A = this chain, B = another copy of it.
Amino acid sequence: MSETGRCELCSTTAGELLWSSPACRIVLVNEADYPGFCRVIWTAHVREMSDLSTAQQQALMAVVFAVEAVLRQLYDPLKINLASFGNMVPHLHWHIIPRWADDPHFPEPIWGRRQRDSTGLRPKVSAAQLAAAMQQALAALPDLPQ
């Protein structure tokens, strides 16, 4: 099977779809410990940011930063964490994660050592509310190249 045929980001939505364009999509991860945790997934099976053109880099990051802005508006977290690794799934995708001082891993990254089990109260935001806010924020952006 080809590399793209085996890639879960090529063959599945990999989350709850909030918004999509030909170039990329935004999905909600739905992880109980991390409400609002979203991923932005580039559509094409590309490995690194530096494999994209400058216009594509800017378009993808504009979506990532729009997601960050929406998450700040709806969740008012202490901090936003951004990361693109791709060590296990080498298909370009970004993690956008709202963080709070009493979340399970703070101040470590969520991939670090778990610090505590309890988490504080978080704003209740539905996937539909998130999708509407993303749609509104992204309508202002120019068309994304593929």
Contacts and interface: CB of A to CB of B under 8 A. Distances in A.
Interface of A: 47-50, 54, 57-58, 61-62, 64-65, 68-69, 72, 79-88, 90, 99, 106-109, 111-112
The 9 A-B pairs of least Cβ separation, nearest first, read A87-B107, A83-B83, A50-B69, A109-B111, A111-B112, A82-B84, A50-B68, A81-B85, A88-B107
A87 B99 contact: yes
Contacts of A48: 68, 72, 79-80
Contact of A87 (B61, B69, B106): B106
A50 B88 CA distance: 28
Nearest to A86: B79
A52 to B, nearest CB: 8
Contacts of A87: 79, 81, 99, 106-109
A108 B50 CA distance: 21
Contacts of A47: 79
Contacts of A65: 49-50, 57
A68 B85 contact: no
A37 to B, nearest CB: 14
Contacts of A109: 83, 85, 87, 109, 111
A126 to B, nearest CB: 22
